Structure 1
Amino acid sequence: MMILDDRELNAERVHHHDGDSRLQRWLLGMRHLLVEADHFSFVNAYLPWRYPLGSLAMAAVAAALCGWFVHARAYLLLIGVGSVIVLGVIWPKVSLLAIRGHLKFEDRRTVEGKGTRARLVVSNYLPIGSWGLRLRGGHEDAGSGSVVNLAVVPGWRTTEFEFPYVPPLRGEYPRGSAALRTGFPFGLWEAERSLATTGSLLVWPRSLPLDDIPEAAASDRTREGLVFQNRAGHSGDFFGVRPYVRGDSLRRIHWPQSARYDRLIVCERQASANLHLQVVLDVLPSVHGGNGPYSSREWAIRIAATLIEAFLNRGALVHLVVDDRSVATGSGTSHRERLLDTLAKIPPKTSKTIGEVLSSSPVRRFRDGLQVVITTDRGLQRADAWPHGGKAIILRAASFGAVAEPERHDRPLLVRPWIEITDANNVAGQFRRGWREVLNAN
C-alpha cells in the first residue's frame, strides 16, 4: 500500500480547487459578457433570446432538431410551442381589426401641472371582446409610454373611458399619433390601431405669483391711463392730504381738516398711468442648459409667462418678442390668450440669437415703459448691442446642465443683471427674492 504524505494530498486538493475556480471564473466572465455587460449594445435589438418571441422561436427550432435526430415525440413539443407563437402573434391583430376609437379633451387650454380630463371612445364591431388594451402615445412620439390601461372592450358595443390627463410640459397635445395597443394573451407581440383625435389641448407654461409690479413700467409720455399707482395724481382713490399750494382746485380742499388745523388742507388722489411692458425672450437651444421641464429654456419661458400674467392683471399693455415672432401690444383677456398661446407653441428648435432679436425693429423702437430681456449668460455673450433702458433677467446656463456649445469667456457681459438665477433647484424662490429687491429699489 502506497501512503501519501500530507504535502502531496494538499497539493492535489489545491490543484483540483484551482481548476474549479478557473472554470467558475470563466463561466462568470462569459455570463457578464453576454448578459450583464453592454459591450454589444449595438446588436441588442437583434439578439433573439432577449425577447419572449425569440426565445420561443429558438425553442421551436430545438424541438424540430430533436424530432429529426433524436425521437419523433419531440414534434409534440414543436406543435405546442408553434401553437403559442401563432396564437400570440395573430390574436392581437385580429382583436384590433374591428376596433375604432377617438380621443378628445374636455378643455381647449390648461396650465402645466394642472391638467384636464380626457375621454376615449372605443367601438368594437366584433362579437368578442378585446382585452389588455393600452392607450399609447400623445407625448413626444407614439411610443412614449402608456397613458391609460383598458381592461376589456366588450363586443358589439361602444365604450367610453374617462381619465385624468396631466401633460408633462407646455405645448400642443397630443404630440405625434395616439394609438391603442395590445399584446393579449401572451405579450409576445403588440398590435396597434391608430386613433382619431377630436380637437387639441394647448398647455400654457405655469406662472409664479408676484406681489406687485415696479413703477418703471409706467409710461413717461402718457400720464393719464387706466392703472392707478401709489403716487400723487388727479384721479383714482383717496391717497392722502397735504397743505394747500397756490393753483390747487378748491374742490379738493378738505374742509374738516382745514378747520382743525386753521389752514387749507388739500386731498390727494392716486395718479393714473399707462403701464407698458415689452418681454424679449431668448429661446435658442444652444445657449440654454439642461433638458426637459427643468431646463433653463423652459424656466425662461415660465418667467416670461409670469411677467405677462402679472402686468396684464394690473391692466398694463404687454408686447412679446420671441425668436422671429412679435405679438403686438395689447391688453385684456383675448390678448392674454394670444401671448400665452405663443409661449406654449414655441418649437423645440429655433434659430435666432438674442443679438438678432435685439436688433429687430420692434425692440429697437421701444421707448415708453419697461423692457425686460430674458436670456442666459451664454446668450448675452452673443449680443453686440443692448437696448437703452432694457433690464436683463439672466439664467446661469451651467447650473442647469450641459449646453450644446462650450462656454465662452472671451467676451464680458454687456449689462449687469436686473435679476440673476444661479440655482436650478430653486428658480421660483430665487426669482421672487430678486423681484422683491427690484420693488424695494424702486
Structure 2
Amino acid sequence: MAADAPAGSDQQPGGLRIALAGTTTRGRSFLAAGVAAAACSYILGQDDLLRVGLLLAALPLVCVVALHRTRYRVAGSRKLSPARVPAGSEARVQLRLDNASRLPTGLLMLQDRVPYVLGPRPRFVLDRVEPNGRREVSYRVRSDLRGRYPLGPLQMRLTDPFGMCELTRSFSAYDTLTVVPKTEPLPPVRLAGESSGWGDGRRRTLALAGEDDVIPREYRHGDDLRRVHWRSTARYGELMVRREEQPHRAGCTVLLDTRRVGYYGAGPDSAFEWAVSGAASTALHMLERDYAVRLLTDTGDSVPGAESAGGGHGAHSDSADAAGLMLDTLAVIDHSASEDLSAAFDVLRSGHEGLLVAFIGELDDDTVSLVARMRRRSGAAIAFLLDSAAWSAAGDDEPDARRLEDQVQLLREAGWTALPVRPGDRLPELWRQAEGQAQQLKAGV
C-alpha cells in the first residue's frame, strides 16, 4: 500500500469549512473565551480587554488556516507478515511513513482501520518527521475466526503545535489478511485400497504406443533429437517431440459436508469448525504425499488440486499452489442450504477413482443410505461422522448416541472406514484408528 497524502491540499468547495469543523475542544474554548472577552470589553469599555479577546479568538483561527494551507507530502505503506495465518495465530503489520516534502511535519497520529475481530484499532503518535525522513511502527493482529479481513485504509491525523485544530487524511489502499482453518499434521499411515501418490504402476510408456496414439509436445532445449516426432512437426510447423512417459497422480477427494441442518452451534469450538479444520488437515496431508487432491462440498462445488502436475520441482510448486487455493477456499466457506448430499453424490458418481475422505455432519436415514452408496469398489473410503448434537446440550440424549453408532455400523457394512467424532477428539488419533479399521476390513475381505 502506497499513496500520497498532501495535508491541507483539499481543494473541494467548503475545504476551509471542513478544517474549521476540525477545531479541538481547546480551540473552541479559546474562540469562545475571545468572543466573551470582546463582549465584556464593549460592555465595560475596556480597550485592553478587547485586545486580549481578539488575540484569544484569532489564535485558533490562525491555526486552522495555517494547518489547512500547510502542504505535507507523505507516503504510507503497509506490510503483512504473513498474509495468510491459521486461526489463533498472530500476524505482524508494519506501517511505514515517508515524508517526501521539504518541510518537517508537525505532530501526527496514525490510525489503521482493522475489523473488531482482529483486536483494538491501533494508534501511533509521531512527534516530528524531518524532510525526506521516515518512521516505522508495527502492531499485531490475531483472530480465532477464519475469514478474509481488510486492513486499512490508513488514516493520518494532523494537528498544529498548540493543539487548536486536527485534520484527518486517509490513504486509499488497503490489504487483506486471510485467516485459514487450523491444521494438524497427520501420521503417515497406510490405508486399505490406497495407492502411493507416484509409482511405477501409475506410469504408462507412450513410446510403446502406435504412431496415432502419441501425444507430442513442443521441443525444449536439451531434448534428445531421437525423440522428434516428424509427423507432428510437419503438421504444426514447429519441432515436436514424443513424451516418453506420462505419469498419473493418485487421486484423493476430500468431501466436506457444509449443510446447516447437519450441525449445531457456531464459533471456533463448534462441530462445523472441527470439520473444516479436519478437511484442511487432510488436504494438506495428501498433497504432501504427492496426491492430486480435490476438495468437494455437499453442493457439488469442487476445488481441484494439481492433477496434471508432472514430477520433480514442478509438482511441488503446483501442490503448494493447490494447498493455498484450498486453504483460501476453506477460510471463507460457510453453511449451505442443502438438505442432503445428492449433489456431491452425482459428482462422485461421474468422477475418477481414488481415495475418498468425508467429514459429515448429522444424517437422516435417507442421507446415510446415500452416503453408503458413495463408496467406490476400488480405493478406500473414510468417513468421519461428527456427533454434532454432542457439541450442544442435546448431546446427552442416549437415542442420539445409539443412532450415530447405527449409522457408523451401516457405513462399515457398505465398505467404509467409518469413525464417530465427538468433542475433544483429535484428528491424528482418529487417523490412526482409521488405519487399524481399514486393515481389519482388508483382512476380512
Q: Which residue is equivalent to 1:372?
A: 357
SS at match of 2:136: strand
Q: Which runs of 5+ in 2 are unaligned?
A: 1-22, 202-247, 308-314, 376-381, 395-399, 409-417, 439-445
Q: Which amino acid aligns with 2:419?
A: W
Q: Which residue is equivalent to 1:133?
A: 109
TM alignment of 1:203-218, pairs within 5 A: 204-216=180-192, 218=194
Percent identical: 16
CA distance in 2, matches of 1:374, 1:285: 14
State the 1:308 CA deviation: 1.2
CA contact (8 A) 1:96 1:192 kept: no
CA distance in 2, matches of 1:143, 1:184: 28
| Per-residue CA distance 1:295-323 (angstroms, 9 max, x = gap) | 55444332221111222222333210145
Confirm or deny that 1:439 pairs with 2:435.
yes
Aligned partner (choices 334, 339, 342) of residue 326 of structure 2: 342
Confirm or deny that 1:394 pairs with 2:369.
no
SS at match of 2:407: coil
Aligned partner (choices 407, 415, 429) of residue 407 of structure 2: 415
Aligned partner (choices 286, 301, 306) of residue 325 of structure 1: 301
TM-score, normalised to structure 1, is: 0.54
CA contact (8 A) 2:106 2:158 kept: no
Distance change in 2, residues 1:191/1:93 (3 Å): farther
Distance change in 2, residues 1:95/1:206 (3 Å): farther
Aligned partner (choices 257, 266, 280) of residue 305 of structure 1: 280
TM alignment of 1:32-431, pairs within 5 A: 98-105=73-80, 111-112=86-87, 113=89, 115=91, 118=94, 120-125=96-101, 127-137=103-113, 139-140=114-115, 145-147=120-122, 149=124, 151-152=126-127, 154-159=129-134, 161=136, 163=138, 166=141, 168=143, 170-172=146-148, 175=150, 177-182=152-157, 184=159, 191-197=168-174, 204-216=180-192, 218=194, 226=198, 276-283=251-258, 287=263, 289-291=265-267, 296-322=271-297, 325-330=301-306, 332-333=315-316, 334-346=318-330, 348=332, 350=334, 352-353=336-337, 355=339, 358-360=342-344, 361-365=346-350, 368-377=353-362, 380=363, 384=367, 386-388=370-372, 389=375, 391-394=383-386, 396=388, 399=391, 415-416=407-408, 418-423=419-424, 430-431=426-427
CA distance in 1, matches of 2:74, 2:393: 45
State the 1:208 CA deviation: 0.8
State the 1:436 CA deviation: 3.5
State the 1:161 CA deviation: 2.4
CA distance in 1, matches of 2:77, 2:327: 28
State the 1:193 CA deviation: 1.5
CA contact (8 A) 2:197 2:290 kept: no
SS at match of 1:308: helix
State the 1:59 CA deviation: 10
CA contact (8 A) 1:320 1:327 kept: yes
Q: How many residues align?
A: 324
Distance change in 2, residues 1:303/1:227 (3 Å): farther
Distance change in 2, residues 1:75/1:422 (3 Å): farther
State the 1:327 CA deviation: 1.9
CA distance in 2, matches of 1:383, 1:339: 33
TM-score, normalised to structure 2, is: 0.53
SS at match of 1:290: coil
Q: Which runs of 5+ in 1 are unaligned?
A: 1-51, 234-272, 403-408, 424-428
Distance change in 2, residues 1:212/1:120 (3 Å): same
State the 1:136 CA deviation: 0.6
Rg comparison, structure with higher value: 1
CA distance in 1, matches of 2:387, 2:105: 54
| Per-residue CA distance 1:61-114 (angstroms, 9 max, x = gap) | 799789869989799799859966995x88887778633323244666555526
State the Cα RMSD in Å: 5.2
CA distance in 1, matches of 2:56, 2:252: 73
CA distance in 1, matches of 2:188, 2:57: 71
Question: Which one has the bigger strand percentage?
Answer: 1
Distance change in 2, residues 1:387/1:178 (3 Å): same
